[in-house]
Amino acid sequence: MTAPARGRGRPRDPETDAAILRAALEVFVERGIEGLSIEQVAKRAGVGKLTVYRRWATKEELVSQAIQTIVGEELTFSLDDLDALSPYEITERALPAAAELAASPAYRALIARILGSAVSHPSLMAVTWERYILPRRRLAAYLIERARQEGLLAPDADADVLIDMMVGAVMYRALQPGPPDTAEMLRYLRAVYRQAGLLPPEPS
Amino acid sequence: MTAPARGRGRPRDPETDAAILRAALEVFVERGIEGLSIEQVAKRAGVGKLTVYRRWATKEELVSQAIQTIVGEELTFSLDDLDALSPYEITERALPAAAELAASPAYRALIARILGSAVSHPSLMAVTWERYILPRRRLAAYLIERARQEGLLAPDADADVLIDMMVGAVMYRALQPGPPDTAEMLRYLRAVYRQAGLLPPEPS
């Protein structure tokens, strides 16, 4: 059932890691963080539980990284990219992948499980926040600061509040009855970014 | 264990109803909608399960109404009230109760459970949406339409999107690590409403 202890320190197998992350996502969506154990994930992935523990110290770390394999793909900007484009161009470039992600069943299921565990089991949100959400918020805050300097946003616009309004709206919309398909989510995201001031007003 | 069938149609006892709703809230916060049964709620409330079924046909109806006893209290506006006040006055009047609610542990726990079950058990969101959320959104949309007519909002502002951004931000903020106390939530709500255009800009 368990990997030999002498395996510790051995170079990791990317395919094994990928199988473990896939299994972790599946079990997380099925049972939530409270119902997930490293043992179940190891069994689902067909590896020994020490193989999992060698790589991830806690189930929260494991699930956080597994979530990132789904939701991290549209984070393709560096600060250099941000500087080379206008705020509107950055938004336009980010929208198609964001719409596809936000309209996917996998995103809805993950968001529900993450938010759903935030009070009863706060450590998953804490790890995910620190490791994955904060770095992306810093990029978004940088974009918002540039947009403010260019006069696109009000001088008193609060970056944290604005990010919460944009992200919060998309998560809430994804969990409402009748979730949108990709085309409808793209329309919705445009309306959110326009309302936030990060896309130009509609021509009237 | 069960109430006599001849009780059907008898005037209901408000104290019994209140005890059932309290018990439903407790069990919902502890176990979520998937882990809740009418039997457990009846036992917790000290009544027979037919007493519960006589009043609520499904556990989703019961839990939706129980949630409403917590989150419905700040909905104290009629359309006549809305017409008698300016949009800024309406927002100002609604803010203190909204901040107290959004900063309460009960709100955080409920929001997590409601959003958390939206994908795995969508019927709770569906019932709550239809019965409680939509009527409040209609009031908010009316306020937004008035604010647009008075030139406070952009002509292309989309009421549904704006409501999602405000409500989504508050729910997301409440579930982030380090949830705000009432004073901090009031400051946060002001920033959200200001960003939305439903409070005036800060004096600079």
B84 touches chain A (CB under 8 A): no
Structure confidence at residue B4 (pLDDT): 45
Residue with tokens 């009748």: A178
* End-to-end CA gap in chain B: 66
pLDDT over threshold 70, residue A132: yes
Distance from CA of A9 to the nearest CA of B (A): 34
What band does B182 get if pLDDT is binned at 50, 70 and 90?
very high
Nearest to A169 among B164, B194, B202 (CB): B164
What band does A3 get if pLDDT is binned at 50, 70 and 90?
very low
Nearest to B89 by CA among B134, B152, B136: B152
The Cα-based distances of B158 to A8, A126, B137 in angstroms read 56, 33, 13
> Which pLDDT tens digit goes with each residue over A8-59?
455 678 899 999 999 999 999 999 998 999 999 999 999 999 999 999 999 9
Q: How many beta carbons lie within 10 A of that of residue B73, not counting itself? A: 12
Nearest residue in chain B measured CA to CA from A127: B177
Nearest to B100 by CA among B191, B194, B180: B180
Both tokens assigned to B184: 């901090």
Give the least confident one: A61-70, B54-63, B64-73: B64-73
Asked if B35 and B119 touch (Cβ cutoff 8 Å), the reply is no
* End-to-end CA gap in chain A: 66
> Which pLDDT tens digit goes with each residue over B90-129?
999 999 999 999 999 999 999 999 999 999 999 999 999 9
Both tokens assigned to A144: 């918002």
> Which pLDDT tens digit goes with each residue over B33-64?
989 999 999 999 999 999 999 999 999 999 99
B164 touches chain A (CB under 8 A): yes
Chain-centroid distance of CA A177 in Å reads 21
Both tokens assigned to A184: 């409808």
pLDDT over threshold 80, residue A123: yes
Greatest distance between any 2 Cα atoms in chain B: 69
> Under an 8 A CB cutoff, do B177 and A126 touch?
yes
Tell me the C-alpha distance between B84 and A158, whole Å. 31
A199 touches chain B (CB under 8 A): no
> Which pLDDT tens digit goes with each residue over B141-173?
999 999 999 999 999 899 999 999 999 999 999
Question: Which candidate in B195, B202, B204 is best for mutational testing of the A interface (most A CBs within 10 A)?
Answer: B195
Give A138's contacts (C-beta < 8 A, 6+ positions apart).
Answer: none
**How high is the mean pLDDT of chain B?**
89
Query: Which DSSP symbol is given to A77?
Result: -
Q: Is the ipTM of this complex over 0.85?
A: yes
Tell me the C-alpha distance between B78 and B70, whole Å. 19
**Domain annotation for chain A: domains and CATH numbers:** 5-67 (1.10.10.60), 73-196 (1.10.357.10)
Nearest residue in chain A measured CA to CA from B179: A119
Helices (H), B103-181: 105-116, 123-128, 134-149, 159-175
What are the backbone angles phi and psi of residue B35, rounded to the nearest 5°?
-95, 5
